[in-house]
């Protein structure tokens, strides 16, 4: 299925509430400063964007969505990544194997994202990145992966997704996320089933390992941002997850934005963008005396 067709189908499902920001899927973005491989396979790479100045800069790892399908790539979060970099936050936007790619699905998609996040340690050797201030931001299926990245330190060693010494995070900004893969099975052309390699009844252990909601508390601060008019990912997934995460002891901010659909959350020109910047700024606020204030990362361009 061609990318244009997939976009058309999703916009048809999304309906008029998405019209304000649907163009973000195809809107060209300024080029990244560097495209860097984090592995040997073709889709193991990321786009690095650096703010002006000597740094070291706080970092946002950006994980794009698209139903975990190969038809979607990191291009549609290029404007989000660029806007964050202009505000003073370096961005490391990850590509990864997806459903339909040779190495996508279980466990490749998860392993790629984990390896890409941890590659920041290597990037910091040659670029002015502050590894003490790293957040992960993801949208939709990328929101699921962003929460999962924060949860993976809880996985047992026998898990196929286990990572040794994951990169510490300041927090997660999950935009319209899918925290429980079992609730995603009916949508996105049954992509969750394809991602995991079976239904929840067929692969219960995989669904548990791949669902952030099963690993609460995550132990990091989280912002969950969702559009009230989202017709792709139900807002109840965000509210139910936030309630469970707060009950587990996690620090969670839930923002449900009125008059907002699915795609506004990744559009720097939308009314939802200041909330996204507030979330990133809050999580990256320096704690040491003499650091830059939160306001330096809350919308300055």
pLDDT tens, position by position, 200-244:
999 999 999 999 999 999 999 999 999 999 999 999 999 999 999
For the domain made up of 3-297, give the CATH fold. Answer: Rossmann fold (3.40.50)
CA distance 83 to 25: 15
pLDDT at position 22:
72
Higher pLDDT, 49 or 4: 49
pLDDT tens, position by position, 92-121:
999 999 999 999 999 999 999 999 999 999
User: What predicted TM-score, i.e. pTM, was given to this entire model?
Assistant: 0.90
pLDDT at position 190:
87
CA distance 151 to 146: 9
Q: What does DSSP say about strands 90-94 and 57-63: parallel, antiparallel, or unpaired?
A: parallel
Tell me what the mean pLDDT of segment 15-44 comes to: 83
Tell me what the mean pLDDT of segment 245-249 comes to: 98
Please determine, for residue 180, whether its predicted confidence score (pLDDT) is greater than 80. Answer: yes
Tell me what the mean pLDDT of segment 62-77 comes to: 96
pLDDT band, residue 185 (cuts 50/70/90):
low
Please determine, for residue 264, whether its predicted confidence score (pLDDT) is greater than 60. Answer: yes
What is the token pair recorded at 169?
């995070």
- Sketch the domain layout of the chain as residue ranges: 3-297
Tell me what the mean pLDDT of segment 65-77 comes to: 95
For residue 77, what are the contacts with CB-CB under 8 A and spacing of at least 6? 62, 64, 93, 139, 142, 266
């Amino acid at each position: 299925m061609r990318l244009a067709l997939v976009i058309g189908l999703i916009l048809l499902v999304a309906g008029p509430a998405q019209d304000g920001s649907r163009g973000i899927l195809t809107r060209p973005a300024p080029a990244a400063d560097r495209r860097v491989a984090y592995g040997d396979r073709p889709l193991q790479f990321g786009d690095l964007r650096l703010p002006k100045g000597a740094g070291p800069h706080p970092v946002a790892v950006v994980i794009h969505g698209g139903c975990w399908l190969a038809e979607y790539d990191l291009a549609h979060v290029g404007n989000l990544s660029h806007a964050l970099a202009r505000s003073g936050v370096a961005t490391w936007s990850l590509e990864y194997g997806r459903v339909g790619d040779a190495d996508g699905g279980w466990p490749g998609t998860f392993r790629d994202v984990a390896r890409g996040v941890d590659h920041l340690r290597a990037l910091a050797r040659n670029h002015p990145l502050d590894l003490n201030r790293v957040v992960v931001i993801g949208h939709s299926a990328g929101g699921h992966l962003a929460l999962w990245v924060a949860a993976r330190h809880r996985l047992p060693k026998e898990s196929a997704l286990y990572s040794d010494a994951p990169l510490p995070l300041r927090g997660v900004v999950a935009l319209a996320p899918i925290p429980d893969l079992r609730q995603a099975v009916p949508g996105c052309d049954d992509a969750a089933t394809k991602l995991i390699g079976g239904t929840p009844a067929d692969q219960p252990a995989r669904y548990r390992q791949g669902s952030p909601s099963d690993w609460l508390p995550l132990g990091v601060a989280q912002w969950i941002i969702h559009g009230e008019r989202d017709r792709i990912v139900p807002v109840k997934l965000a509210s139910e997850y936030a309630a469970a995460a707060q009950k587990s002891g996690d620090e969670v901010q839930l923002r449900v934005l009125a008059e907002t659909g699915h795609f506004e959350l990744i559009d720097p020109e939308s009314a939802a963008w200041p909330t996204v910047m507030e979330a990133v700024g809050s999580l990256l606020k320096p704690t040491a005396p003499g650091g830059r204030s939160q306001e330096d990362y809350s919308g300055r361009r």
